[in-house]
């Protein structure tokens, strides 16, 4: 575990959450990176979720949506009671989470941000999110993901 340890995997271990780590190889500059990750893992893209950082009403917010779709910024703003939302600048997202683009996990971030998961996460026994490093995904139960992130569920993907 130490060789692949990240803040995200440390949270999973500390909380004793059942999970499975999956390695993959996809160049970070690949167009539609999330779908390429799903393909590399031989998974339907609806089960693989990407983590985006948005500025919703002046507050950074974690948005987790399937790689098969896109973040609906109006829906995210509505979900958190903000007037509008925009995807945060890459440097701001990396600084706030402690992760790099292509490896931002909703778990184990530098500081806990409000989080919203697309409600489609509930339709699966397990889902995949970044384990905090490019090339590493973690498979876990949606209920555990919701509990560990303190997230609310809302229809934020389109």
Please state the domain count of the chain. Answer: 1
What is the CATH classification number for the domain harbouring 93? Answer: 3.90.960.10
Average pLDDT of the segment spanning 121-132: 95
The neighbour count for residue 10, using CB atoms within 10 Å, is 14
pLDDT for residue 16 is more than 50: yes
The answer to whether the beta carbons of residues 57 and 81 sit under 8 Å apart is yes
- What would the pLDDT profile of 63-76 be if each residue is shown by its tens digit? 999 999 999 999 99
Average pLDDT of the segment spanning 43-47: 95
CB-based contacts of 3, cutoff 8 Å, min separation 6: none
3-state helix, strand, coil in the chain (%, to 5): 30, 30, 40
Find the domain containing 89 and state its range: 2-154
- What would the pLDDT profile of 62-117 be if each residue is shown by its tens digit? 999 999 999 999 999 999 999 999 999 999 999 999 999 888 999 999 988 999 99
82 burial (CB, 10 Å; 0-12 / 13-18 / 19+) is middle
């Amino acid at each position: 575990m130490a060789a692949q340890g990240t803040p995200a995997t440390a949270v999973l271990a500390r909380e004793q959450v059942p999970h499975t780590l999956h390695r993959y190889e996809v160049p970070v500059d690949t167009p539609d990176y999330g779908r390429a990750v799903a393909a590399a893992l031989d998974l339907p893209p609806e089960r693989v979720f990407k983590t985006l950082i948005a500025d919703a009403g002046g507050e950074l917010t974690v948005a987790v949506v399937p790689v098969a779709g896109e973040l609906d910024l109006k829906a995210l703003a509505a979900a958190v009671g903000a007037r509008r939302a925009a995807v945060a600048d890459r440097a701001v997202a990396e600084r706030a989470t402690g992760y790099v683009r292509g490896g931002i996990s909703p778990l184990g971030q530098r500081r806990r941000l409000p989080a919203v998961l697309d409600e489609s996460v509930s339709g699966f026994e397990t889902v995949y999110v970044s384990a905090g490093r490019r090339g590493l995904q973690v498979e876990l139960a949606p209920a555990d993901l919701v509990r560990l992130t303190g997230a609310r569920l809302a229809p934020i993907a389109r």
